[in-house]
Amino acid sequence: MRKFIAKPVAIAIVVFARAITAVRAIWPAEGVFTGQCVYFANHSSHGDFILVWAVLPPRLRSRVRPVAGAEYWLKSAISRFIGRDVFDAVLIERDRDTRTGDPIEIMSSAIDAGSSLILFPEGTRNQTDQLLQPFKSGLFHLASARPNISLVPVWINNLNRVMPKGEIVPIPLICTVTFGQPMQLASGEAKEAFLERARSALLELSPNTRGENA
């Protein structure tokens, strides 16, 4: 029964997100990367992974799972339903002291099972005036555990204006999702260097960095 209504709910959420944001994907000149990968994106809104999910070609979308905080998505019956059944999220416990499973192991086994992941390396939603917060180390540890996996930077633009934290009514504004070229962890690359490289690859996709407006 839950599985039965999960699909229509997923479609309804995507239709709603598209109606509000008219979201459009901007692919790199080489075209869509079709391999298994980890999409890593900037994080400013609860709707972030929905937009990435919505613009991916259906063939890729069907094997993509967002990585999300377990404590948030297991809080109530409805968020459990949306997180687990609708979007099949890979739920990880963020609190180091109380967690029972290792997030890197959980993500790695999802990759081994053939899934692509959507990951927000800032760890939490960006409420600051900065474009991008410093990355947490999770992306590095995941890349070290599965060094062959491709990492695709994804910049989500404008969604923070659609629904800022604490607001309940979304404002219809046009959003874009810009995909960069896949990158990989270089052999022997240090944590700081890698995270900085990944962060600048992501920042480069931002329209503000490219000198365009909106």
Partner 1 sequence: MSGVDSDLGKLVCGILAVLVVASIVGYILQRRFSPDGSNASIENLNARIKAWWVMAVLIGVAFLAGRVGVLVLFGFCSFAALREFITLTHTRRADHWALAAAFFVVLPMQYYLLWLHQYGIFSIFIPVYSFLLMPIISVLRGDTEGFLDRIAEVQWALMICVFCASHVPALLTLSIPGYEGRNVLLIAFLIIIVQLSDVLQYVWGKLFGKTKIAPRLSPSKTVEGFVGGVASATLIGAGLWWITPFTPVQAGLLALVITMMGFFGGLVMSAIKRDRGVKDWGNLIEGHGGLIDRLDSVVFSAPIFFHVVRYWWSVT
Q: Which residues bind partner 1 (CB under 8 A)?
A: 22, 24, 158, 161, 164, 167, 169, 171-174, 212-214
The single-letter code of the amino acid at 64 is: V
Identify which of residues 74 and 173 has a Cβ nearer to partner 1 in the complex: 173
Contacts of 164 (CB under 8 A, 6+ apart): 45
In the complex, what is the shortest distance from the CB of residue 130 to partner 1, in angstroms, rounded to a whole number?
16
CA distance 177 to 184: 21
DSSP assignment letter at 183: B
In the complex, what is the shortest distance from the CB of residue 161 to partner 1, in angstroms, rounded to a whole number?
7
Identify which of residues 133 and 158 has a Cβ nearer to partner 1 in the complex: 158
In the complex, what is the shortest distance from the CB of residue 100 to partner 1, in angstroms, rounded to a whole number?
38
Reference 124, options 71, 178, 69; nearest CA is 69
Identify which of residues 1 and 169 has a Cβ nearer to partner 1 in the complex: 169
In the complex, what is the shortest distance from the CB of residue 122 to partner 1, in angstroms, rounded to a whole number?
19
DSSP-derived pairing of the beta strands 24-26 and 116-119:
unpaired
In the complex, what is the shortest distance from the CB of residue 48 to partner 1, in angstroms, rounded to a whole number?
18
Identify which of residues 155 and 194 has a Cβ nearer to partner 1 in the complex: 155
Compute, in degrees rounded to 10, the torsion defined by CA atoms 189, 157, 86, 91. Answer: 30
DSSP-derived pairing of the beta strands 24-26 and 37-41:
unpaired
Kind and range of the H or E run holding 122: none
In the complex, what is the shortest distance from the CB of residue 44 to partner 1, in angstroms, rounded to a whole number?
12
CA distance 199 to 193: 10
Reference 142, options 150, 133, 134; nearest CA is 150
Neighbours of 153 (CB within 10 A): 24
